[in-house]
């Protein structure tokens, strides 16, 4: 049998049984895996912008926020409780179905991605990073202050009572614990399989994009924009498409985050989150899908693992309160990132280098 097929089947089996194994240790670990999948989706989207097109985006978390707040407003009683007109039209509140919110989140985030990309087409490198960083902060500040004179986002209090996702027709609720073949299946396990399905679809999309004419055009722009333009590539539209495509992944991830948490606030979309997603892409291997996934899983799981270690060994009591567990966790993550990048400057799993001559055989 083909080795690739065997590896694929083994990986699929491990992914299916992973939540069942983790649930024996508690829902905390399944929840940590769910968040890791959300970060994988974010990293795959940012990899389109940074890895394929070579555009450094430090405000990517803004599209995550756009998707989350879109679903929060369409699937919570906030708008109907705030505006009497909406309450008269929808007395029970807005409860948008699953089949509508995910495409709508992707489309809205893609629109904002194009809005960000349009004025930055002539910028490169550090200048582009500064502008995108400012865009991300503008979105966060708007979300934090759009509670007056019209209370749209509820400001720093955030949005509460957000609906859990439900499958249409069958009434399958991801937010409730259920039973399957006599086994109890928690809500975090249900969300795991939903997130996994969307991540697999996203990987296939990225894989096809990488090998398409669009993907090759993005890589040509990344390597040398002037040469790409001289070869007839429409660099303007290709850049806009990269921003829009990458942002759509962030919008979908934001929708999933909002329904999973059932509460969102501007604090969840700070600059630190953008930096973390960029670090995932760089740490794993820029432009290489398996590397990006590996980097996202490691950086998303490491804080939770260190949180458990700090709680299990009670480090704060052992040091007489001199070391805060949260600060120690951030220090260890930073040291691990520095060590990895010094040891492997191109990432943990970089893309294979092409064009290098094979070494001459030894006679």
The predicted model gives 182-203 an average pLDDT of: 88
Three-class DSSP labels, the chain: CCHHHHHHHHHHHHHHHHHHHHHHCCHHHHHHHHHHHHHHHHHHHHHHHHHHCCCCCCCCHHHHHHHHHHHHHHCCCHHHHHCHHHHHHCCCCCCCCHHHHHHHHHHHHHHHHHHHHHHHCCCCHHHHHHHHHHHHHHHHHHHHHCCCCCCCCCHHHCECCCCCCECCCCCCECCCCEEECCEEECHHHHHHHHHHHHHHHHHHHHHHHHCCHHHHHHHHHHHCHHHHHHCCCCHHHHHHHHHHHHHHHHHHHHHHHHHHHCCECHHHHCHHHHHHHHHHHHHHCCCCHHHHHHHHHHHHHHHHHHHHHHHHHCHHHHCCCCCCHHHHHHHHHHHHHHHHHHHCCCCCCCCCCCCCCCCCCCC
- How far apart are alpha carbons 153 and 159 in whole angstroms? 7
Compute the half-sphere exposure of residue 335: CA atoms within 13 Å on the CB side of its CA: 6
pLDDT of residue 82: 85
Report the candidate in 52, 55, 72 with the shortest Cα–Cα distance to residue 64.
72
pLDDT in tens, 94-138: 777 777 888 999 999 999 999 988 888 888 888 988 999 999 999
pLDDT in tens, 23-47: 887 788 899 999 999 999 999 999 9
Structure tokens belonging to residue 121: 């087409």
pLDDT in tens, 53-73: 999 899 999 999 999 999 999
Mean pLDDT estimate for the chain: 85
Strand-pair partners of 180: 183
In degrees to the nearest 10, what's the CA dihedral of 147, 151, 154, 160?
180
Q: Is the pLDDT score of 84 beyond 60?
A: yes
Q: Is the pLDDT score of 89 beyond 70?
A: yes
pLDDT in tens, 269-323: 988 889 899 999 999 999 899 999 999 999 888 877 777 776 666 666 666 666 6
Q: Nearest 5 degrees, angle CA 306-CA 335-CA 292?
A: 80
Whether residue 147 contacts residue 82, with contact meaning beta carbons closer than 8 Å, is answered with no
pLDDT of residue 288: 92
């Amino acid at each position: 049998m083909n080795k690739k097929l065997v590896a694929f089947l083994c990986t699929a089996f491990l992914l299916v049984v992973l939540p069942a194994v983790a649930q024996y240790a508690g829902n905390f670990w399944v929840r940590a895996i769910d968040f890791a999948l959300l970060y994988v989706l974010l990293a795959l989207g940012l990899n389109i912008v940074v890895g394929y097109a070579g555009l450094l985006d430090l405000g990517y978390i803004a599209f995550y926020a756009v998707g989350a707040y879109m679903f929060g407003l369409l699937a919570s009683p906030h708008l109907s409780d705030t505006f009497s007109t909406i309450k008269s039209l929808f007395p029970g509140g807005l409860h948008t179905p699953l089949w509508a919110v995910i495409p709508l989140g992707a489309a809205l985030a893609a629109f904002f991605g194009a809005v960000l990309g349009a004025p930055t087409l002539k910028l490169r490198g550090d200048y582009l990073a500064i502008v995108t960083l400012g865009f991300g902060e503008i979105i966060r500040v708007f979300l934090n202050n759009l509670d007056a004179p019209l209370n749209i986002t509820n400001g720093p209090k955030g949005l509460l009572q957000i609906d859990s996702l439900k499958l249409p027709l069958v009434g399958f609720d991801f937010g409730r614990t259920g039973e399957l073949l006599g086994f109890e299946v928690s809500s975090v396990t249900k969300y795991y399989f939903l997130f996994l399905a969307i991540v697999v679809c996203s990987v296939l999309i990225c894989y096809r994009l990488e090998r398409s004419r669009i993907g090759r055009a993005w890589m040509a722009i990344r390597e040398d924009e002037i040469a790409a333009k001289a070869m007839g590539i429409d660099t303007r539209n290709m850049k806009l498409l990269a921003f829009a495509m990458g942002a759509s992944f962030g919008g979908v991830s934001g929708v999933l985050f909002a329904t999973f948490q059932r509460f969102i606030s501007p604090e969840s979309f700070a600059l630190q989150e953008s930096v973390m997603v960029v670090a995932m892409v760089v740490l794993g291997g820029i432009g290489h899908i398996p590397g990006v996934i590996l980097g996202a899983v490691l950086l998303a799981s490491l804080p939770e693992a260190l949180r458990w270690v700090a709680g299990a060994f009670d480090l704060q009591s052992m040091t007489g309160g001199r070391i805060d567990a949260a600060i120690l966790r951030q220090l260890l993550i930073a040291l691990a990132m520095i060590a990895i990048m010094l040891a492997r400057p191109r990432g943990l799993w970089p893309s294979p280098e092409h064009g290098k001559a094979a070494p001459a055989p030894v006679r």
